[in-house]
A and B are shown apart, each in its own frame.
Chain A
Amino acid sequence: QQPVQSPQAVILREGEDAVINCSSSKALYSVHWYRQKHGEAPVFLMILLKGGEQKGHEKISASFNEKKQQSSLYLTASQLSYSGTYFCGTVGNTGKLIFGQGTTLQVKP
């Protein structure tokens, strides 16, 4: 079942912060975050496994609440290069990576 992302779209100024949420109605083993720029393939950002961990990647970090079946991606002090569409992908007991509908992020100067 497809996870639900919110918001659908975000417009920021450089230096502002953003949070993208991903929730599932099914139990999850892992959550994967990708960023896709127009005309390109999705690029892997990070993976979060069962255990409620939080990970960081430069100014991009994420959390995973296993009990709530939710994950959030945090973008701090956004840069122009952060623009793109962010997808969360969830893996449940089927072992298949299923993607949310995506969140479009636009960072303006």
Chain B
Amino acid sequence: SAVISQKPSRDICQRGTSLTIQCQVDSQVTMMFWYRQQPGQSLTLIATANQGSEATYESGFVIDKFPISRPNLTFSTLTVSNMSPEDSSIYLCSVFLPQETQYFGPGTRLLVL
């Protein structure tokens, strides 16, 4: 299994500002993912972040809005840029362990006013 931590755990932000979410894993992993879970909804994949390459974004998500960094095999950041109230969600970092499954961090609860 993997132990994943995220910072911050929650935040309240003003519209138009940006927030960077950090994800730290206790072991080296190749594949990391960022998901968004809007209130009462399922988890939606934002992007795949592999070390040493540009993040791959899903339909509906763009790099200018959600820039991602993956500087090493245990760490990644997701920035939510120029926030609006529609960005209020839980943002979850996830890692895939081969022969196992995907594990999720505790999530970052974001409220944009």
Contacts and interface: CB of A to CB of B under 8 A. Distances in A.
A101 B42 contact: yes
B104 A89 contact: no
Interface in B65-104: 92, 94, 96, 100-104
B60 to A, nearest CB: 13
A102 B42 contact: yes
Interface residues of A, number: 17
A47 B100 CA distance: 8
Contacts of B48: 96
Contacts of B105: 41
Contact of B101 (A47, A96, A98): A47
A64 interface: no
- In the A-B complex, the 8 residue pairs with the closest CB atoms: A41-B104, A99-B43, A47-B101, A99-B42, A101-B42, A41-B106, A41-B107, A102-B42
12 contacts: A2-B42, A32-B101, A32-B102, A34-B104, A42-B43, A47-B100, A89-B102, A96-B33, A96-B48, A99-B42, A99-B43, A100-B42
